[in-house]
């Protein structure tokens, strides 16, 4: 067996190096095959190898002198990630790489932007962290992945951040070509991400953090289609309200894709306001399904009375049970005209809409809520006894305390604190109730309930980005770089959702898909072969059977086996 350094003819990217091995096949003769892929000369120089041809020719000479290097502990592990073959197959199925390169053809780059985006998506899913970590530890440990300098990564993430909406549009169009897009219903919600910095800037502003942190934050609005696959993302300064972005996202979506039909927007109570309802039902002739809080001043006294009204001929409750006849929830509905206000030139203008309202009562939720209320009441009772305690120091339990500035004779003086028993009784009575309001008066209550509860998928999407993909804290500084980072997180989530819902038919949860991708690793042992370090799991067995990957569990994998794995079609 002999080795030689193969230099591919120059292309736009320059000379490409590989180590080939020659071997003898009985009755056939001498044949050559790839032993080790090295990379482009310019890229290797950028990584610090001054003369790549000389450097790797010396390695070939050592191999030919039977002095093959034994792997040593160093900067790059001999253990490689290989589970990203699923991610690569999905990117190939969407056929986006050529268009990404065309989008950046007016910029002189020493690499393909599509390769960089692919590598960053791999790194975000396999081992998320800072871009420095991706450069130093993650990308070099990804099997069959293009290499980039740290400067190339930082410059590239800035470039894609400048046009993040165009990349979302590109992926949407390709997803629509393969599977179509159902936009008759759209799920919308918002979250925010913190930055471990002290000084605010134009987009990282202090506001109400989901984690109750005091750091500057940036907001993210996420839109899912009817199948709960991401379809749009908008970033906005952390001190701004998320409410205007619901309509903005939908209008942008309609404009970009020439959507003429009616869209039903589904969102949680945080997006339920007169401006959004007016924009959807009156201005755009669209529909909406929102939840509405039953607590505080969100409902009038008459509406709260209707929510709590017992079963009678005109107010009929229906019960939904499980297979064991246990009560899951009860519901009732009504259709009426309701009044709202929307803002015009800074002034509140009243309007009316016809709505169907569905109220549900969940006994399990009621029990949980009452325990939470009781804990807050106990905190309030403890703090009321402390004379020095100010209102701002009460926190959430302040809603169960009455603050009055009167003395014994009723004259205004020092602040007097007392427990608000009426508020406690009201919240206890409303525990377990939830109200859904909708413009879809002809939709059945059960359908309304089921459509609304599809929102759990968007809440899970935020959890995936914040936990598995570790989108925060973000370590980048400029607006374009920050947007580029969140685009990579968004595209990673989209690809994982497509695998979960389109390839694995919602039979393998997204967490288990990520677990498989991260745990499927291989270790180079020489002679063009690798040891498979993966272990059996439910996700491993499912993927192997679903995709017909016979050799997925082989202890020893050769380069040709891995080449076959990375060329599968979904």
At 566, is the pLDDT very low, low, confident or very high (cuts 50, 70, 90)? Answer: very high
Do 171 and 491 contact (CB within 8 A), yes or no? yes
What tens digit of pLDDT does each residue of 16-28 get? 888 888 766 665 5
Q: Tell me which long-range contacts 354-357 makes (C-beta under 8 A, separation of at least 24).
A: 354/439, 354/441, 355/437, 355/438, 355/439, 355/441, 356/437, 356/438, 356/439, 356/440, 356/441, 356/443, 356/445, 356/448, 357/333, 357/435, 357/436, 357/437, 357/438
What tens digit of pLDDT does each residue of 506-551 get? 999 999 999 999 999 999 887 788 999 999 999 999 999 999 999 9
Question: Which of these ranges, 157-171, 234-248, 514-528, 536-550, has the smallest mean pLDDT?
Answer: 234-248
Do 236 and 221 contact (CB within 8 A), yes or no? yes
The two tokens of residue 5 are 């350094």
Q: Where are the alpha helices (DSSP H) in 65-139?
A: 85-94, 97-103, 113-126, 131-133
What tens digit of pLDDT does each residue of 424-448 get? 998 899 999 999 999 999 999 999 9
**Distance between CA atoms of residues 447 and 460, nearest Å:** 21
At 11, is the pLDDT very low, low, confident or very high (cuts 50, 70, 90)? Answer: low
Please give the angle made by the CA atoms of 130, 131 and 137, to the nearest 5 degrees. Answer: 85
Question: Which of these ranges, 67-81, 167-181, 279-293, 470-484, has the smallest mean pLDDT?
Answer: 67-81
**Between 68 and 388, the higher pLDDT residue:** 388
331 phi/psi in degrees, rounded to 5: -150, 160
Q: What is the DSSP letter of 319?
A: E
Q: Which of 235, 240, 253, 232 is nearest to 188 (CA)?
A: 232
What tens digit of pLDDT does each residue of 186-227 get? 888 888 888 877 777 777 877 766 666 777 888 888 889 889
Q: Which of 182, 264, 192 is nearest to 222 (CA)?
A: 192
Q: What is the mean pLDDT of the chain?
A: 86
Q: Is the pLDDT of residue 391 over 90?
A: no
Q: Is the pLDDT of residue 466 over 60?
A: yes
- Select, from the ranges 90-94, 203-207, 346-350, 390-394, the one with the highest average predicted confidence (pLDDT): 90-94
Q: Is the peptide bond preceding residue 473 cis, with omega within 30 degrees of 0?
A: yes
CA 470 from centroid of its chain's CA atoms: 10
The two tokens of residue 541 are 């067995």
390 phi/psi in degrees, rounded to 5: -90, 165
Q: Is the pLDDT of residue 67 over 60?
A: no
Q: Is the pLDDT of residue 48 over 90?
A: no
> How much is the pLDDT for 545?
95
**Distance between CA atoms of residues 438 and 246, nearest Å:** 16
At 503, is the pLDDT very low, low, confident or very high (cuts 50, 70, 90)? Answer: very high
C-alpha distances in Å from residue 553, one per residue of 19, 151, 500, 550, 562:
27, 38, 21, 7, 12
**Distance between CA atoms of residues 402 and 466, nearest Å:** 38
At 71, is the pLDDT very low, low, confident or very high (cuts 50, 70, 90)? Answer: very low
Please give the angle made by the CA atoms of 550, 146 and 482, to the nearest 5 degrees. Answer: 110
């Amino acid at each position: 067996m002999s080795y030689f350094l193969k230099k591919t003819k120059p292309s736009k990217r320059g000379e490409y190096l590989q180590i080939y091995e020659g071997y003898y096949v009985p009755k056939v003769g001498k044949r050559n095959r790839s032993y080790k892929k090295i990379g482009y000369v310019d890229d290797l120089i950028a990584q610090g190898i001054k003369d790549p041809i000389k450097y790797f020719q010396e390695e070939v000479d050592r191999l030919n002198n039977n002095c093959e290097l034994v792997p040593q502990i160093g900067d790059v592990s001999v253990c490689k990630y290989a589970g990203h073959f699923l991610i690569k197959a999905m990117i190939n199925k969407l056929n986006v790489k050529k268009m990404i390169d065309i989008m950046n053809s007016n910029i002189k780059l020493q690499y393909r932007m599509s390769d960089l985006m692919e590598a960053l998506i791999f790194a975000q899913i396999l081992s998320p962290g800072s871009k420095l970590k991706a450069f130093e530890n993650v990308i070099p440990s990804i099997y069959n992945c293009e290499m980039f300098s740290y400067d190339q990564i930082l410059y590239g993430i800035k470039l894609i951040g400048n046009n993040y909406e165009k990349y979302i549009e590109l992926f949407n169009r390709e997803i629509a070509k393969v599977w179509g897009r159902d936009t008759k219903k759209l799920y919308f919600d918002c979250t925010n991400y913190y930055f471990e910095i002290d000084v605010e800037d134009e987009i990282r502003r202090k506001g109400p953090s989901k984690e109750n942190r005091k750091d500057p934050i940036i907001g993210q609005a996420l839109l899912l289609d009817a199948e709960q696959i991401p379809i749009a993302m908008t970033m906005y300064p952390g001190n701004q309200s998320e409410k205007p972005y619901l309509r903005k996202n939908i209008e942008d979506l309609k404009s970009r894709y020439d959507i003429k039909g009616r869209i039903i927007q589904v969102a949680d109570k945080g997006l339920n306001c007169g401006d959004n309802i007016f924009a959807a039902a009156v201005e755009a002739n669209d529909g909406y399904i929102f939840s509405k809080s039953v607590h505080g001043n969100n409902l009038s006294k008459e509406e709260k009375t209707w929510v709590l009204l017992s079963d009678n001929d005109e107010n009929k409750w229906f019960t939904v049970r499980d297979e064991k006849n246990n009560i899951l929830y009860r519901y009732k509905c009504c259709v009426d005209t309701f009044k709202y206000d929307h803002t015009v030139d800074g002034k509140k203008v009243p309007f009316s809409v016809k709505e169907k309202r569905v109220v549900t009562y969940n006994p399990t939720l009621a029990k949980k809520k009452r325990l939470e209320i009781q804990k807050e009441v106990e905190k309030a009772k403890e703090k009321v006894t402390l004379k020095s305690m100010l209102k701002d120091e009460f926190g959430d339990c302040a809603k169960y305390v009455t603050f009055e500035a009167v003395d014994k004779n009723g004259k205004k003086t020092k602040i007097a604190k007392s427990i608000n028993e009426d508020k406690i009784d009201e919240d206890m009575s409303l525990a377990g109730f939830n109200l859904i309001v909708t413009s879809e008066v002809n939709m059945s209550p059960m359908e309304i309930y089921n459509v609304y509860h599809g929102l759990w998928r968007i809440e899970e999407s935020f959890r995936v980005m914040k936990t598995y993909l570790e989108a925060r804290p973000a370590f980048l500084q400029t607006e374009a770089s920050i947007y580029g980072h969140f685009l990579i997180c968004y595209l990673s989530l989209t690809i994982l959702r497509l695998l979960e819902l389109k390839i694995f038919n919602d039979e393998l949860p997204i967490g288990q898909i990520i677990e498989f991708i991260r745990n499927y690793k291989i270790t180079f042992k020489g002679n063009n072969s690798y040891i498979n370090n993966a272990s059996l799991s439910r996700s491993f067995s499912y993927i192997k059977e679903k995709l017909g990957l016979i050799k997925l569990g082989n202890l020893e994998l050769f380069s040709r086996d891995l080449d076959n794995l990375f060329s599968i079609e979904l």
